[in-house]
Amino acid sequence: MSKDDRGSWQLRVPTPFDLNVTALAGGVGAARFLRGLVRVIDPARLCVIVNTGDDEEFFGLHVSPDLDTITYTLAGAIDQNKGWGLAQETFRCLEALGRYYPETWFGLGDADLATHLFRTQQLRHGKSLSEVTATLARTWGVQSTLLPMSNNPVRTVVHTDAGALPFQEYFVKGRGEGQVERVEFRGLSSAFPTPGVCEAIATADLLILPPSNPIVSIGPILALPGVREALRATPAPVVAVSPLIAGKPVKGPADRLLSGLGIEVSVAGVAGLYQDFLDVFVIDTQDASQRGRLEQQGLTVIATDTIMSDMEKSLALAQVVVEHGQKKRRTRTE
């Protein structure tokens, strides 16, 4: 293992798996998985369908947190400690915005702002979010295809006992406090998957759901017309990695969202949300005792270390996922 110019770990993998892979992804957890995945498969044969329900306008700029986290991570430019934003970032502009705006709680770094300025200007010039996303990925040297789940605005709104809050306000400003009552995907009824999303699911040799919040990261993608159906219909196996370890998410409010919605806060609870299309469920060794219950749901279960604290662990997890995924022959019938 050696460190490349950008300071990210280049691991020498003898023979990459020969597969077209499509992943459905949220932010930090998914990005940490994907940085390993692109080292066990050909990155150019990976398509990532990314949640945009967390997108928000700040200071007149269109911010796509999950898209940026994945782009920056695959580019080796992410702040490794935080998991989001650019490495060596400064926050001078955000500080100055405090002079004009009452609230500056969303961490927009100075270099990161360039991305939001560019995206916003391109959108105003009539480009679609998927076109801008492709340009951004290319600019950062990302070889994989990144598809925003939809070119139509879908906004995740978390209804709590303290009122309805757009996701960033609930999670970043409000720190995920308040009793969750329901989650709404505003705009969903007039939204469609980005062209290519259902095709990328239908034609992949392997489908992966990296560890992402099942309610607010994977949920909006699955709610788009045709996506869930495509996952059910594809002949390729679907592998998910649990975002919960011993009933807790590594990051984010998945536990509070699940329990608020009356869903068991466990690997079984998560599996239940995917039961109509999931084939293989990768859980942490800490949850190995749940294996029997999951197998009863008809799943192939793999228990392994899923905490991706460094690149080596991301790579090892990706290897397990792809290895077991490609072995799996799908037997389910609609």
Q: Which is nearer to a second copy, 75 or 302 (CB)?
A: 75
- Given 3, 7, 18, 90, the residue binding a second copy (CB under 8 A): 90
CB neighbourhood size of 7 (10 A)? 10
- Given 9, 106, 118, 192, the residue binding a second copy (CB under 8 A): 118
Residue 99 binds a second copy, judged by CB under 8 A: yes
Q: What is the 3-state secondary structure (H, E, C) of 276-327?
A: CCCCEEEEEHHHHHHHHHHHHCCCEEEEECCCCCCHHHHHHHHHHHHHHHHH
CB of residue 109 vs a second copy: minimum separation in angstroms? 8
Dist. CA 155–CA 153, nearest whole Å: 6
Residue 333 binds a second copy, judged by CB under 8 A: no
Residue 102 binds a second copy, judged by CB under 8 A: no
Q: Which is nearer to a second copy, 12 or 124 (CB)?
A: 124
Dist. CA 267–CA 258, nearest whole Å: 11
Residue 95 binds a second copy, judged by CB under 8 A: yes
Dist. CA 288–CA 303, nearest whole Å: 6
Q: Which parts of 124-153 interact with a second copy (CB under 8 A)?
A: 124, 136, 139-140
CB of residue 60 vs a second copy: minimum separation in angstroms? 4
Per CB under 8 A, the segment of 46-54, 115-123, 249-257, 278-286 that binds a second copy is 115-123
Residue tagged 């270099």 (tokens): 111
**In degrees to the nearest 10, what's the CA dihedral of 161, 101, 124, 111?**
-100
- Given 5, 100, 296, 329, the residue binding a second copy (CB under 8 A): 100
Q: Which parts of 18-77 interact with a second copy (CB under 8 A)?
A: 59-61
Dist. CA 255–CA 243, nearest whole Å: 10
Question: Using an 8 Å Cβ cutoff, are 119 and 62 in contact?
Answer: yes
- Note the residues at the interface with a second copy (CB under 8 A): 59-61, 90, 92-93, 95-97, 99-101, 110-115, 117-118, 120-121, 124, 136, 139-140
